[in-house]
A and B are shown apart, each in its own frame.
Chain A
Amino acid sequence: MASPKRLYTVIAVLILVAVSLISVSFYFKSPEKTGFFRKITLEAAAPLGSAVNSALGSIGMAWNRYVLLVELEEKNRELERTVASLTREVNDRREMSLECIRLRGLIDMKNDVGFPAVAARVAGRNRLSVFRTVLINKGTADGIETGFPVVAAEGVAGRIIEVSWNVSKVLLLVDYNSNIDALVQRNRCQGVLQGAGSSGCELKYVQRSQDVQVGDVVISSGLDGIFPKGLLLGTVAAVEKKDSGLFQRIKVYPTLDIAKLEEVLVIVKKRGDGR
């Protein structure tokens, strides 16, 4: 006789098999009809599934946003690198363009001067010193000697005061030691343009009787034997006539912006050569 445990197992198995078969048989009996328990299950499963899906959707959205942000950050970095690179390139091109314009001015100047000239680049400047000088990258190797006039496209820059093989020192026209024989272009009255440091220049030894006005253009007279005649020096900024004294005090702003001086033309001209 079978033991109670074995009997229980057999009955359980039979019940389970019966349940399974009944479950299948319902489908064959009425395949289009949904049973009550199935409806209950579907009703319970739907909100549960939608809740889980909603939670997963939120997580997925957060994840997607995170991934998107990471991608955006990466893209942003890449774009920043590109912008930096393009900015450098644009700047280089702009510099080249400006240099071209300046050099073209120098070439025009060189043609106008009528003397052989050597183009040079400003290699260094001492901004803090009271001495207004700059160094240029040309020297005796290029035929430059002390005393040669230095000009830029806008006008006179100064003259060479020291020269080595490949470097020369230029005394700028605003230095206190600079003296250039000058003319007021409008009325041809003569004077000496002396450097006045940060104030620019001063046109000295112009008689009180001479009519000099603010805005008059001052050019080199060519009489000092250094600067060729007719080079642009500056414009009259202020005129002061004192009650006493022979001369009037004329303040001149150089046409050349010394701070922006980059390329210059050294005129290869022996002292005393005229035009």
Chain B
Amino acid sequence: MIYYLLLPVFSLLLLTIQITVFDIFFLAGVAPEISLILVIYAGFYLGIARGGALSVVLGFFMDCMTGVVPGFFVLSYMLIFLISNVVSFRVYAGGMIFATGFTLACVLLEKLLIILMYKALYGMNVLCDILNISFFQAVVTGVLAPAFFALFRRLEVLLSVWESRSSGQL
């Protein structure tokens, strides 16, 4: 229960940091999308309920804070979460190279969804604009993914211990 209570707070905090801190420390446009890494992590390691809730909340906050079309990030994050979840049943997701490659592919998929959305909704072709930066962003996000996976795993362990203590199991 604590997980679901803390979820909006931490999600908001994470997105705030992502939008502010990472935007400054990385070159403009190629800052890693930590929220997407977390969604993929959720697909790999969290259950369908926890991971799904996390994806929806993150997507919703992303929509609120940066999105132009409300619901787009909820939809895309949900899609990526489900794909990750399905993939985690078929492939061992703990490898560093796989994590990097899969994250890179997911970032590109997200950008592809953006291109398709713009094309479908506004009839605009934003392929060139997005391709200029999306590949580098995908690479940066992919390279950093294993490190963030390790960080999220630690946080998950800490949260589990806290939950166990709160419920009196330890």
Q: Do A and B share a complex?
A: yes
Chain A positions within 8 Å of B, measured between CB atoms, are 8-9, 12-13, 15-17, 19-21, 23-27, 35, 37-38, 41-42, 44-45, 48-49, 52-53, 56, 60
Partner of A45, one of B48, B65, B75, B81: B65
Q: How far is the CA of A28 from the CA of B1 in the complex (A)?
A: 33
Q: A20 contacts which chain B residues (CB < 8 A)?
A: 56, 59, 71, 74-75, 78-79
Main secondary structure of the interface of B (DSSP, over half): helix
Task: State whether the Cβ of B91 lies closer than 8 Å to any Cβ in chain A.
Answer: no
Query: How many chain B residues touch the partner (CB < 8 A)?
Result: 30
Q: How far is the CA of A46 from the CA of B69 in the complex (A)?
A: 19
Q: A15 contacts which chain B residues (CB < 8 A)?
A: 52
Q: How far is the CA of A13 from the CA of B56 in the complex (A)?
A: 12
Q: Are B64 and A41 in contact (CB under 8 A)?
A: yes
Q: Are B13 and A27 in contact (CB under 8 A)?
A: no
- Report if A48-B12 is in contact (Cβ < 8 Å); known contacts: A23-B63, A24-B71, A24-B74: yes
Interface string of B60-94 (1 = CB under 8 A from A): 11011100011110110011011000000000000
Q: How far is the CA of A41 from the CA of B9 in the complex (A)?
A: 10
**A54 nearest CB neighbor, chain B only:** B20
Q: B17 contacts which chain A residues (CB < 8 A)?
A: 52
**A45 nearest CB neighbor, chain B only:** B65
**A49 nearest CB neighbor, chain B only:** B16
Task: State whether the Cβ of B147 lies closer than 8 Å to any Cβ in chain A.
Answer: no
Q: Are A12 and B64 in contact (CB under 8 A)?
A: no
Q: How far is the CA of A35 from the CA of B13 in the complex (A)?
A: 21
B99 to chain A, nearest CB (A): 23
Q: How far is the CA of A13 from the CA of B86 in the complex (A)?
A: 11
Q: B16 contacts which chain A residues (CB < 8 A)?
A: 45, 48-49, 52
Q: B82 contacts which chain A residues (CB < 8 A)?
A: 13, 16
Q: Are B72 and A24 in contact (CB under 8 A)?
A: yes
Q: Are A26 and B70 in contact (CB under 8 A)?
A: yes
Q: B70 contacts which chain A residues (CB < 8 A)?
A: 23-24, 26-27, 35, 38
Q: Are B56 and A19 in contact (CB under 8 A)?
A: yes
Task: State whether the Cβ of B49 lies closer than 8 Å to any Cβ in chain A.
Answer: yes
Q: Are B19 and A23 in contact (CB under 8 A)?
A: no
Q: Are A25 and B71 in contact (CB under 8 A)?
A: yes
Task: State whether the Cβ of B15 lies closer than 8 Å to any Cβ in chain A.
Answer: yes
Known: A23-B75, A38-B63. 10 other contacts (CB 8 A): A12-B52, A13-B52, A16-B48, A16-B81, A20-B74, A24-B70, A24-B72, A38-B64, A45-B12, A48-B12
- Report if A12-B48 is in contact (Cβ < 8 Å); known contacts: A23-B70, A45-B65, A48-B13: yes
Q: Are B61 and A23 in contact (CB under 8 A)?
A: no
Q: Are A19 and B12 in contact (CB under 8 A)?
A: no
Q: B15 contacts which chain A residues (CB < 8 A)?
A: 45
Q: A60 contacts which chain B residues (CB < 8 A)?
A: 24
**Which residue of B48, B49, B82 has the most chain A CB atoms within 10 A of its CB atom?**
B48
Q: B79 contacts which chain A residues (CB < 8 A)?
A: 20
Q: How far is the CA of A27 from the CA of B75 in the complex (A)?
A: 13
**A38 nearest CB neighbor, chain B only:** B64
**Which residue of A19, A26, A53, A60 has the most chain B CB atoms within 10 A of its CB atom?**
A19
**A44 nearest CB neighbor, chain B only:** B12
